[in-house]
Structure 1
Amino acid sequence: MRTLRNYLITAALCIFWLGIGIAQGNDQFQAYWVHEDVVKPSMVMQYETVCKELTDNMKKHNIQGLSVIVSNTVDNRYMWISPINTIADVDRPVFQTLSEKMGPENMTAMFNKMNKCYDVEHDYIIQMDKELTYMPDGITQTPVGQEYRKFHYYYYTPGNAAIVKEKALAIKKLFQSKGSKLHYRVYHSGFGNRGAYYMVAIAAKDAADYANKITENNTLMGPEWQSTFSDFMGSLIQYELVEGQMRPDMAYSPK
């Protein structure tokens, strides 16, 4: 977060000039800015303590202009995920306001403690594709009581984008036809990402609940699922699976 403001201003300019934008006015997509800290294993406890201090101060002063959910993965990556509607949203005076409320010396000291916890941070944009997402009961990133996550990353070559999307739609149609109870959200890589991919997020209560959901879904879908999924995987260049969890104790939304 130490270089966040300068990065976001640069990002906004790059998005504008390169024409890599957010699908404004299109109900199919919802864009998110993601700030990711790669935390040192020995500093996880200190990092989480400072993050909760940050969240507490945001709540105390009811800082406007930022709504964020937080997820961390088993390899100690912490992702702060905030919805954006326009390119201008990436340049928000959130921390300037917080500094004025809690005092610049106090905020600087807080962030100095946080900065010692990691050497690597990333900022990028992803877009939820509602056309590919399967949540028949209504789309939400935070299903109640389901903090456990599996993040599936499906990488492909840009020239193969149309084919990959077609096969992803075939998977959703199969889920719909079978009335699957396994819900998922699909995100597409955007500005600041390395490579083109779809990320599929699946929520569950815990690892055991996730395994049960997968087993039940495979049984429900039958042989057609194997051929449909294999066809999709055949159009990719790489697959990655990441385990994580949501952190409502770090999340923030203004009153």
Structure 2
Amino acid sequence: MKKFSLLLVLCLVVGAFYVNNLQAQEAEDPGLIFLMEEFVAPADLAQFWEVQQEAIDLFNELDLNMTVWAYQTSENSFYWAMPIKNFAGIDELYASMMNVSQKMKENGFDGDAKFRDLSNISQSVVMWNKELSFHPDGDGQDEEGKGFHEWSFIYLKSGHEKEAAEAAKKYIEFYKSIGTDYSWDIYQVVFGEHTPCWILEVQDVSEAALRETEDAMMKEYRDDFRKLWQNMVQHVRTIETKKGWFLPGWSMQAE
């Protein structure tokens, strides 16, 4: 199945789950997120931007009523994050996909042709961990005005999830004790490669602002952070970090 068909599948996830469960999700934890990372060669970035903008414009024109959060990373890739309620009914999405694809083609957009050779895709499902996330101001996940994001992919040692969670809670206790407004979210990869894996997300208005905040805390609490890390690192296999920016023009919110 070609690239744009996969994108439609992901969008249909939102149409099938998010609209029907909007009120429930507002009252409960956000639950699962279908995450697609789309890799684009540097030489193809300009064409990808043009074609993707054309697709977004048509999505908006057709009013497909979906929720998609879009991000660009510093590594020539794009994240498409879509909230879902559960895994049930995904088979039905493949049947519905053809109808949406046909509607796009009837409006002059052949995704298979336009996106040909432009990107490669990896897919995963992640779950927001409210217990291990920290928001002293009560907000959670994407914060308004904070367009810079940094994701640390923490690959845990097999079987160390419980111990790593206890170590993460010590971070929360420490941050509460110093009264900081620094916040973060942790997502657990529940379907994807190289599990167990946590994704630690921090955000700010800019990378410079985030580094300034972190440097100031490190200067004041260096010894405390060293002890916290020594407690955590014994459960970690490796860490990879990516930087990115929220794309409001490519993001959508279901009514």
Maintained 8 Å contact 2:5/2:101: no
Matching residue's letter, 2:195: G
1:103 is displaced (CA, Å) by: 3.6
- In structure 1, the residue matched to 2:162 is 162
Maintained 8 Å contact 1:28/1:131: no
Structure 1 pair 62–140 and aligned structure 2 pair: CA distance change class (3 A): farther
Structure 1 pair 28–140 and aligned structure 2 pair: CA distance change class (3 A): closer
Unaligned stretches of 5+ in structure 2? 11-24
Structure 1 pair 198–161 and aligned structure 2 pair: CA distance change class (3 A): same
TM-score in terms of structure 2 length = 0.82
Maintained 8 Å contact 1:127/1:189: yes
Matching residue's letter, 2:32: A
Structure 1 pair 219–166 and aligned structure 2 pair: CA distance change class (3 A): same
Query: Which of 6, 12, 16 in structure 2 is aligned with 1:4?
Result: 6
CA RMSD of aligned residues (A): 2.7
Unaligned stretches of 5+ in structure 1? 9-23
- In structure 2, the residue matched to 1:14 is none
Matching residue's letter, 1:159: G
- Which digits, 9 at most, give the CA deviation of each residue in 1:28-47, with x for residues without a partner? 66210011111111111111
- In structure 1, the residue matched to 2:192 is 192
- In structure 2, the residue matched to 1:19 is none
Maintained 8 Å contact 1:150/1:201: yes
Alpha-carbon distance between aligned partners in 1 of 2:80 and 2:127, rounded to the nearest angstrom: 14
Q: Please state whether the residue corresponding to 2:49 is helix, strand or coil.
A: helix
Q: Please state whether the residue corresponding to 2:217 is helix, strand or coil.
A: helix
Q: Please state whether the residue corresponding to 1:237 is helix, strand or coil.
A: strand
Alpha-carbon distance between aligned partners in 2 of 1:59 and 1:140, rounded to the nearest angstrom: 27
Alpha-carbon distance between aligned partners in 2 of 1:233 and 1:85, rounded to the nearest angstrom: 33
Matching residue's letter, 1:54: A
1:95 is displaced (CA, Å) by: 4.9
1:220 is displaced (CA, Å) by: 5.2
Alpha-carbon distance between aligned partners in 1 of 2:208 and 2:220, rounded to the nearest angstrom: 18
Q: Please state whether the residue corresponding to 2:115 is helix, strand or coil.
A: helix
Q: Please state whether the residue corresponding to 2:183 is helix, strand or coil.
A: coil
Alpha-carbon distance between aligned partners in 1 of 2:74 and 2:245, rounded to the nearest angstrom: 8
Q: How does 1:116-195 map to 2 (within 5 A)?
A: 116-118=117-119, 120-195=120-195
- In structure 2, the residue matched to 1:227 is 227
1:76 is displaced (CA, Å) by: 0.9
TM-score in terms of structure 1 length = 0.82
- In structure 1, the residue matched to 2:45 is 44
The number of residues matched between the two structures is 236
Identity between Structure 1 and Structure 2 (%): 18
Alpha-carbon distance between aligned partners in 2 of 1:201 and 1:127, rounded to the nearest angstrom: 13
Flag as ranges the 4+ runs of structure 1 deviating above 3 A.
5-8, 26-29, 89-105, 219-222
Alpha-carbon distance between aligned partners in 1 of 2:39 and 2:150, rounded to the nearest angstrom: 18
Q: Please state whether the residue corresponding to 1:240 is helix, strand or coil.
A: strand
- In structure 1, the residue matched to 2:109 is 107
Structure 1 pair 89–71 and aligned structure 2 pair: CA distance change class (3 A): farther
